[in-house]
Structure 1
Amino acid sequence: MRTALASLALAGIMAAPASGLAGPWAREKGGVFLTLSQQQDGAGESWTGLWAEYGLTPRITLGLDAGRSGRGDGKLILWAQKAWERGPHRIAASAGLGAVRLDGALAPLAQLGGAWGRGMETRFGLGWLALEMRGIVTGRNVTFEQRLDAQTVATVAYLVPETSAKAELTLGLSPRDRLTWIEQLQLEYGRDAGFDARLATTLVYDLARPAKLEMGLILPLEGASEPALKLGLWLEF
């Protein structure tokens, strides 16, 4: 599970499928979206996440992605996304900068991503389909000793880039006015963490505006992660 939490931090995510979270749809100008969530798995590991979006223009959305594990690892990423409309299709490109904290050490992080999506009508209600992909580069400090002469040994430190990738395929439906059902396939790959696949099922229920309640179950398909439960609160202004 330690590897799984590190993987989450390096990829800049908290396994949070949602109709309002990123994706290729821009936040309306001046609109604000916030979500605070708590995730707990069967091994006792936890993750507290904060996600925020702000509509800077009709096509540009600014965001914050932050979180902290029960062990003290964490992340803080600032990102920006630009969206385009092509008929029924929605396309977006994003970039982000931030840092992760792993085993007490801070490391810089940069990410680039792209997304596609479209709305649809089904016999079960209105819905959407979206695909998001992201590449992440994280700096890792590597130190070793270098002998300068017979009596002198110097410690040399290098910042070595480590790359990882993530993809999410999301299907969402609104069978009732106040209920949204979301299925998301989450795929991650990192050189150290290996391949990880999860299926996240989420129900979002509208409370009194501007709040919504999120309840989720995350099941591992492949990799070292454990089944987890998630509870979150959405606020939209």
Structure 2
Amino acid sequence: MLLRYFAIVAFCMCASLVQAGAWPREQGSGFFSMSVRLGWPQDLEHWASTDPTDQYRTAYFEYGLTDRITLGFDIGNSVSGAGKAIAFVQFPIRNRDTGPKASLQFGLGQISGEKVVRPGLSLGWGLKKGWIGIDSFMEMSVDSLEADYKVDITWGRNLAKDRKLILQLQTGVQQGDPAFARIAPSLVFPILKRFNKRVKVETGATYGLTGDTSMGLKLGFWTEF
């Protein structure tokens, strides 16, 4: 209930105040990523085989239509694990040089064949050698008005040779289920430079803390253009 309350409060802040994150993308620039997360039970006694029991795949794209408006697509798995395809628009509501960045997002699409709306709020703080971000979303069915909530808290550290260390707390509430929380550390490093833009690989792991009895591995690819 506390997690549900926090998610609702985050969305209510939209009225008074937020993945692109909180930082707007510059006009004409873009970002694309693909990732897969494989999961297994934490209790090895429940393993029937070494095959993963969960698979989550995501393709994410965003493009700076202007310096203030970012368009994007989010395709893959939702909070519930069902297939999703969301188109969204995002714009900053606080973009000062000091203090937090804040952006609002509004998405439309489908999850498991049902029409959904997805409002979101992203907050971000730039650090001397990294950043902190809070990204919160609500995925609500247009027909039933039932909703799932997701809040991710990310700490990132810029390392030498264009590498990044990321530690993320992933939380959420699926309709009818208890809240979950998992920890997800990862390392990002460049593997290819083409047209002066680097392709990066993200490798990491996940481990359920509450409401999630799985552990997993994550592999992703990033590129900017």
What is the TM-score when the length of structure 2 is the normalising length?
0.78
Superposed CA offset, 1:157-214 (max 9, x none) = xx32202222111110012132100111111113312201111111100122231011
Corresponding residue number in structure 1 for 2:97: 87
1:66 partnered with 2:66? no
Is the contact between residue 181 and residue 212 of structure 2 (CA under 8 Å) also seen in structure 1? Answer: no
In terms of fraction of residues, the more strand-rich structure is: 1
Q: Which moved more, 1:180-189 or 1:222-231?
A: 222-231
Corresponding residue number in structure 1 for 2:54: 45
Identity of aligned residues (%): 32
Deviation at 1:134, TM superposition (A): 1.7
Deviation at 1:132, TM superposition (A): 1.8
Corresponding residue number in structure 2 for 1:235: 223
Deviation at 1:109, TM superposition (A): 1.0
Corresponding residue number in structure 1 for 2:176: 192
Corresponding residue number in structure 1 for 2:161: 177
- After the TM superposition, which parts of structure 1 deviate over 3 Å for at least 4 consecutive aligned residues? none
- Pair member with larger Rg: 1
Unaligned runs of 5+ in 2: 1-18, 41-51
C-alpha distance in structure 2 between counterparts of 1:224 and 1:120, whole Å: 31
Aligned CA RMSD, in angstroms, stands at 1.8
C-alpha distance in structure 1 between counterparts of 2:148 and 2:109, whole Å: 15
In terms of fraction of residues, the more helix-rich structure is: 2
Unaligned runs of 5+ in 1: 1-20, 140-158
C-alpha distance in structure 2 between counterparts of 1:178 and 1:235, whole Å: 13
Corresponding residue number in structure 1 for 2:120: 113
- Residue correspondences, number: 188
What is the TM-score when the length of structure 1 is the normalising length?
0.74
